[in-house]
Structure formats: structure tokens, C-alpha cells
Chain A
């Protein structure tokens, strides 16, 4: 046994050294995280560009001033977002904002009304049309804030990136324009589109319309509708002679605060007998993060299993191409060679992950440690994500999953003489491996549902499902049973693969498909 392990270690060490002794490896390992970040930024940027339009829109207002009121509603919304941020945050580089917070008594947690009141006091200085505004500058706090607001829009956008003016700006040429003129501007993409407010919008939305060139990108219309609805709703409430407070109550959304049950152990006062009481408590952000963290673990686990297995398969095909296989097989058992290569690839992957952890993990860790300072509530991100049971589960099922699929892919690689043949022959296994990625969200949403329970016992998916549902682990006996079940299947995978590998590595003809593999196992 010791000799066997010594051989495995030798083969693994050689594979590892050969992989990590190339410049290409280190360049790839070091550039990998940078490329990932670049790709994420580019994809995020492009997604933002395509999902949300950015540009100008025009409004043709046929009513008696609804357009202006909607514009003020948008302004008020932006002010509200910004003031709310000031009320939540405890520190600013801009001393003026600290003054505002103190002087206006802004405190979102203890006094939400302070935000609304301050925004109301600001509106007279900023509202549309400009002729209606109070004059600036002024000595009062709202006047000084309004002046600051006008002069520091860049900082406003920096602090509240999704402020409306950053996305949509109302086009205003300073004179009258017709629909025909706007059609031309829309067609040549000067405008995202234009909105027509009919004269009777309060009564009916029948003639309200949004004109655009690309009807699939109508987000500006949806955004505008939200503000228009609020303005129109006020008029309708007024016309119906309903008190404002009643109206607010009528339109208030119904919401249920999510709580969860908790079982608390109690000992009775008389006999000291143990009992339990079921109570409820609200769900914290920590718990939500804890709940969804396994899904991220599952993705990482899947990534490592899939790419590790494919690397193993291509490495096996390459090993055959060196024509050294016969010598190796005369010096080592087929299973020793297979185990050694599996361990070698695993070590190579761990090296890459180590590099990535240092390059990506450090900033992420620092970010996670710093994040709570920017959040209005206390969150222990590190504690929520790196729970011991998650890390343990990850290690156990990474090892089992990688071995289960790694051996299968090794077997496929052993009977192939080209990477192309190997890709074709491994396609069914690859398809099986793709499914867990598609199941990440459904499993995370219902970790104790029938799908999760059934798939926990389906060996190809056991590692992924067990990882994803780590927040809701079964009882210890069942947990151990599942691990034993997976160990048995991993052993079976190794047994079958070594039978194929032993003969497959000497095959020089084209692979004979799935039946050929079965025949190699049976003979």
C-alpha cells in the first residue's frame, strides 16, 4: 500500500511540476483573476447599457401642467433618495453634508419623517418651473442645501448612482416642438423617445403614449409612468373628495414581514425536565446571506469539478500521445497512474485557486470586512459565508465530486486518441454535469423540497445538491448515510474507470462509443 501511494505521489508530483513550471501557467494564473474582473466589468457595463437606456426624452404636455408636476415628482424622488442616504450614513468627506445631517436632525432609523420634512423644505428652492422657485442663494439650511445641490450634481451621482438625472434627462429646447419634429429626432436616435400627455390624463390614459424607435427598450416609459401615476392619483383623490390620509391608506401595499419559527429548549422549574417551546423571530440579513451562501459554494464546487475533470480527460489523451504509456504501465498499475494524474490535476487546480484566493480573495475579504460600515444595519458577512459546516461540506463534496467525475472523464480520455474524440465521447457526461448549474436557484429556494431530497441520493448530483442545501442539512445519521452512499459510488466510478483505463490506454484505434466502454468494464 505504501509503495502504491508512493507511486501515486510521484506521478502526481511530476504532473504538478510540469504544469506549474511553465510561464504560460503563471501568466494564466495571475491574469485569470484580472481577466475575470475585466469580463465582469465589461459584461456588467454592457448589460447596464442594454438593459437600461440612458439619454434624453421629450414630453408633449397637452394637459394643463401635468408634465411640470411629474417633473417635480421626479425631482422630489431624487432628493428623497439623496437625503435618505445622508440620514443613514455616518461619515462623509463633504463636511457640508455632516452639517446638514446635524442641523436638519436627519436620522432615518429613529425618525423617518425627518427625511420627508427636509425634502419638503427643499422643494420650493428647486421646483419647476424656475419662475416659481424661491430665490437662491439664501441663508436658511434648505436654501444652502439647494444651492449645494445645483452645484454638486457630480457628487450627487457619485453617492447615489441611480439618481434619475444620471439615466434620463428631459430634452428641453426652450421653445415649442411638434410630434413630427420629435419623430425625426427619435428616428435618428437623438432621443430615446417622447411621451405624450393627453389633456384628459386624469380621466383616462387612453391617449397617453410613448413613441420610440426600439419598442423593446421602453424602460424610460415605465420609469416615467411611476411618477405620472403618483401625480394623477393625487388629482383623482382630490376629485373624489377623499381625504389624503384615506387615499394613502387605500393605496397602501399590503406586506407581510417574514419571520421564522425557532425552537427553544427549556427546562421546567419543578423537575428539571427538558422541554421545548416554539417561538418566532424576524429574519436578519445575516440569515439571508447564510441561506444563499451555499448556492455560491455550489457554483464554485461545480466549476472546479467540471473544469478539473475536463483537464484530467485532456491530460490523459496527451499522456497517450507521448507514447510513454506502455512504459508507465509497465512501471505502475493503471489505477496508480490514474490516481496519480487525478491527484496531479487536483494539486494544479489548488495551486491556481491559491493564487486566485490571494489575488481576488484578499480584496473581497477586505471588502466584506469593510462593507458593514457602509450598510445601515449590522451584518457579519464573513461569519455568514464561512460557516464551518459549509467549509466542511465543501471540502468533503469537492473531493467526492471531483473523484467521481474525474475518474469517469479519465476513463473516457484513456480510450481516445484525440481531444476531439474525447470531447465527443464525453458529451453525455458533460450534459449530466451541466444540469446542477441549472438547478442552483431552485435548490437554493427550496433546500428541503422534494427535488432536493430526491437529487441528494442521485450520485452524479449528490455533491452539488448537498452543498447547495448545506443551510438545511439532514440529521446526522442521514448525512452520514449520504456521504457513505457517495463514497460507494465514487469507489464504483474508480473501479469501472480503472478497468477501462488499463485497456483503454493501450488502444490505438478510434473509440467505440458507450458500448465499447461497457465492454471494457465487463471484460
Chain B
């Protein structure tokens, strides 16, 4: 991993009429990392990806991709696998992959050579002359993945890459992601499968209702600098607590981000003075638990900066 960032969001927002799909998102995705976008349906993950691809432009703020604020200029270095996967049914498998390669500025010869190599790698070479409509769903997804990789992109953006895959193909995609990162590519993926994100990603952002609720490396997110608290008052009583960086409360449950040096015993004492504590949990939570805590059932993610 290097210190250069593949993607940088700076206060990027996207609105559709009155609807705010993405609200002032700021984050940096280091080159050579596997970065996860997680969040409930409609949170804004796909919008964030479309901003990276240049399919949409931010309403405000900037999105810089591979060093350029105009990602269209570097699109041949980006590979994108959308959530809704599709193929041209009447096109032959090899022709389809070559076509996608050529759209990314490859010449026909090298696109064909690379397509055959990838079809071999994904054990689909025997299907190269078959029409896409004759493929099974899993095979179709692999073909689309091959089409995403054919031009050897530096940045891979995968929207729900494991969706609908059986365990064998899931492993194939995992292996592919890890191989690409070994070759210095950056992989950005969104997923609903927290275990996949947890085991694959170096860092991630949890988005809810267009806002980044959590962002950081996997260690940071899962480390003990987060305390989960259940109490019987609203979150205002938690403001100004020593060593607390931010508070987010949903119902009775509140997530407190604390400084690494903060003694949790001292913190518990301070909280007990202000409210009746029902639960105080400092153990490292799984990503699944973090997701549920942060998003909750009736999510109102309002990050509160605590000075």
C-alpha cells in the first residue's frame, strides 16, 4: 500500500430535487486497498459509486479519482461491476468481453487475447463461442466480472459483487479481488454481507441516509475506542463527556467514539453521574453488530461532534 489515494471525496453531496442522496461525504481511499461501502438499501452507496465513475456529477463538493476530478478522463483505468448485472443475450461470450475491452480503448487483438486469458482463468473458455443467453446465472456473473477486468483497470468498483453467487463462485471472486490488490489495484466494493466486508476490506465507510456514519480502517472501526451504551435519557446528557469524540444515539442505545487514551472506567463513572446506565459495552463488536448499532431499525444517524 502506498500513501497515494485512489479516490478522495471532499464534502461531496448529491441531491435529486428535494432528496439528498449523499450529504457532504468526505473520505480518502488509499491506493492498493480494499475499501468497503456498507449501509442499508437506499443509503447512498450506489450514488457514491456513480460519482466515482463520473456517471453523475456531485451537486457540491468534489470527487477525485486516480488524481483527476474528471473521472471520465481516467475511465479506461476503472473497472465497474454494477449491482444489476446484465449481458447482451444474443452476443457471443468472447465478443461481449472483447466489446467491453474495446470500449475501454483496447485494440481488438489485445482485447481478444486478454479476454481468452480471463475466460481460461475463470474456467469459461469452453463457452467463449456460446451466446450469453445460454449461460447460467452464475456463469453470466462471471462473464460480467471478466468484462470488468479485461482492460486491466487500476481501480475496481464492485457494487454487490457477491450478490447471487454460490459459495464456489464467491470464493472465485474473493480470490480475484485479493489477486488484483496484490497487483497494486485498488478495489472498492459495496456489500450487504458483513462477513465478506470484515474479512476482505482494509477500511470501510458505513453510509446511512446519505451520510457517513462510520469511516476508517477496519481496526479503527472494530477497536475498543467505541463504547456502546444503553441509558434512559436523550443524547444531550452525553455531550461534553471526557475523551468522547462523538455521540450518536438511536432510541436508548448510543455509540460513543472515544479517544484511545480515555480510561473507560472513568468514562462509566462520568456517565453514571448523568444518567441511569442499562448497558455499557466496551468489547470489540463484529461488523454486523456495528452495522446494526449504527443503523438500527429506526435510524436517525446524526453524528455529533463533541468538543
Interface residues in chain A, defined as those with a beta carbon under 8 Å from any beta carbon in chain B? 3, 7, 10-11, 14, 18, 21-22, 322-324, 326-333, 502, 506
Residues of B within 8 A of A322 (CB): 86-89
A-B contact pairs, 27 of them (CB 8 A): A3-B105, A7-B103, A10-B102, A10-B103, A11-B103, A14-B91, A22-B90, A322-B87, A323-B82, A323-B84, A323-B85, A323-B86, A326-B80, A327-B80, A327-B81, A327-B100, A327-B144, A329-B55, A330-B55, A330-B75, A330-B80, A331-B75, A331-B100, A502-B55, A506-B50, A506-B55, A506-B56
Residues of B within 8 A of A333 (CB): 72
Check if B104 is an interface residue, CB within 8 A of chain A.
yes
| Given contact pairs A21-B90, A323-B82, A330 touches B53 in the complex (Cβ within 8 A) | yes
Closest-by-CB residue of B relative to A11 is B103
Q: How far is the CA of A329 from the CA of B80 in the complex (A)?
A: 10
Which of A10, A22, A330, A506: most chain B Cβ within 10 A?
A330
The answer to whether A328 and B90 touch across the interface, beta carbons within 8 angstroms, is: no
Q: How far is the CA of A328 from the CA of B84 in the complex (A)?
A: 13
| Given contact pairs A14-B99, A506-B50, A324 touches B104 in the complex (Cβ within 8 A) | no
Closest-by-CB residue of A relative to B82 is A326
Check if B78 is an interface residue, CB within 8 A of chain A.
yes
State how many angstroms separate the Cβ of A411 from the closest Cβ of chain B. Answer: 17
The answer to whether A10 and B86 touch across the interface, beta carbons within 8 angstroms, is: no
Residues of A within 8 A of B105 (CB): 3
Q: How many A-B residue pairs lie within 8 Å, measured between CB atoms?
A: 57
B: contact size bracket: 20 to 34
Q: How far is the CA of A329 from the CA of B75 in the complex (A)?
A: 10
Check if B48 is an interface residue, CB within 8 A of chain A.
no
The answer to whether B84 and A326 touch across the interface, beta carbons within 8 angstroms, is: yes
Check if B187 is an interface residue, CB within 8 A of chain A.
no
The answer to whether A332 and B103 touch across the interface, beta carbons within 8 angstroms, is: yes
Q: How far is the CA of A502 from the CA of B87 in the complex (A)?
A: 20
| Given contact pairs A14-B99, A18-B88, A506-B55, A327 touches B75 in the complex (Cβ within 8 A) | no
State how many angstroms separate the Cβ of A318 from the closest Cβ of chain B. Answer: 10
Residues of A within 8 A of B56 (CB): 506
Closest-by-CB residue of A relative to B86 is A323
| Given contact pairs A18-B91, A330-B75, A330-B78, A324 touches B103 in the complex (Cβ within 8 A) | no
Residues of A within 8 A of B81 (CB): 327
Check if B147 is an interface residue, CB within 8 A of chain A.
yes
Q: How far is the CA of A358 from the CA of B190 in the complex (A)?
A: 55
Residues of B within 8 A of A506 (CB): 50, 55-56
Closest A-B pairs by Cβ, 3 of them = A323-B86, A326-B82, A323-B84
Residues of A within 8 A of B72 (CB): 333
B87: contacting residue among A10, A324, A331, CB under 8 A: A324
Closest-by-CB residue of A relative to B90 is A18
| Given contact pairs A322-B86, A333-B72, A10 touches B99 in the complex (Cβ within 8 A) | yes
Q: How far is the CA of A506 from the CA of B72 in the complex (A)?
A: 17
Beyond the given pairs A18-B88, A326-B55, A327-B81, 10 more chain A to chain B contacts, judged by CB atoms under 8 angstroms and listed by A's residue number, are A14-B99, A18-B90, A323-B82, A326-B50, A327-B100, A329-B55, A330-B53, A330-B75, A330-B78, A506-B50
Residues of A within 8 A of B54 (CB): 330
Q: How far is the CA of A47 from the CA of B194 in the complex (A)?
A: 73
Which of A21, A324, A328: most chain B Cβ within 10 A?
A324
Residues of B within 8 A of A21 (CB): 90
Residues of A within 8 A of B89 (CB): 322
| Given contact pairs A10-B103, A331-B104, A324 touches B53 in the complex (Cβ within 8 A) | no
Q: How far is the CA of A430 from the CA of B100 in the complex (A)?
A: 34
The answer to whether B103 and A328 touch across the interface, beta carbons within 8 angstroms, is: yes
State how many angstroms separate the Cβ of B171 from the closest Cβ of chain A. Answer: 24
The answer to whether A324 and B86 touch across the interface, beta carbons within 8 angstroms, is: yes
Q: How far is the CA of A328 from the CA of B86 in the complex (A)?
A: 11
Q: How far is the CA of A7 from the CA of B91 in the complex (A)?
A: 18
Residues of B within 8 A of A3 (CB): 105
Q: How far is the CA of A323 from the CA of B164 in the complex (A)?
A: 15
Residues of B within 8 A of A7 (CB): 103
Q: How far is the CA of A326 from the CA of B50 in the complex (A)?
A: 9
Closest-by-CB residue of A relative to B104 is A331
Residues of A within 8 A of B50 (CB): 326, 506
Which residues of B, 55-69, contact A by the 8 Å Cβ criterion?
A: 55-56
Residues of B within 8 A of A329 (CB): 53, 55
Which of B103, B104, B105: most chain A Cβ within 10 A?
B103
Residue-wise interface mask of B (103-122) relative to A, using a CB-CB cutoff of 8 A (1 in contact, 0 not): 11100000000000000000
Residues of B within 8 A of A18 (CB): 88, 90-91
State how many angstroms separate the Cβ of B132 from the closest Cβ of chain A. Answer: 10
State how many angstroms separate the Cβ of B174 from the closest Cβ of chain A. Answer: 21
B82: contacting residue among A10, A327, A332, CB under 8 A: A327
Residues of B within 8 A of A502 (CB): 55
Residues of B within 8 A of A326 (CB): 50, 55, 80, 82, 84
Q: How far is the CA of A228 from the CA of B144 in the complex (A)?
A: 83
The answer to whether B103 and A331 touch across the interface, beta carbons within 8 angstroms, is: yes
Which residues of B, 120-168, contact A by the 8 Å Cβ criterion?
A: 144, 147-148
Residues of B within 8 A of A331 (CB): 75, 80, 100, 103-104
State how many angstroms separate the Cβ of B143 from the closest Cβ of chain A. Answer: 12
State how many angstroms separate the Cβ of B156 from the closest Cβ of chain A. Answer: 12
Closest-by-CB residue of B relative to A15 is B88
Residues of B within 8 A of A328 (CB): 103
Residues of A within 8 A of B99 (CB): 10, 14
Residues of B within 8 A of A332 (CB): 103
Residues of B within 8 A of A14 (CB): 88, 91, 99
Residues of A within 8 A of B86 (CB): 322-324
Which residues of B, 30-68, contact A by the 8 Å Cβ criterion?
A: 50, 53-56
Q: How far is the CA of A323 from the CA of B141 in the complex (A)?
A: 12
Which of B53, B55, B91, B147: most chain A Cβ within 10 A?
B55
Q: How far is the CA of A324 from the CA of B50 in the complex (A)?
A: 14
Closest-by-CB residue of B relative to A319 is B88
State how many angstroms separate the Cβ of A341 from the closest Cβ of chain B. Answer: 13
Residues of A within 8 A of B84 (CB): 323, 326
Q: How far is the CA of A4 from the CA of B267 in the complex (A)?
A: 61
Residues of A within 8 A of B100 (CB): 327, 331
Q: How far is the CA of A10 from the CA of B85 in the complex (A)?
A: 21
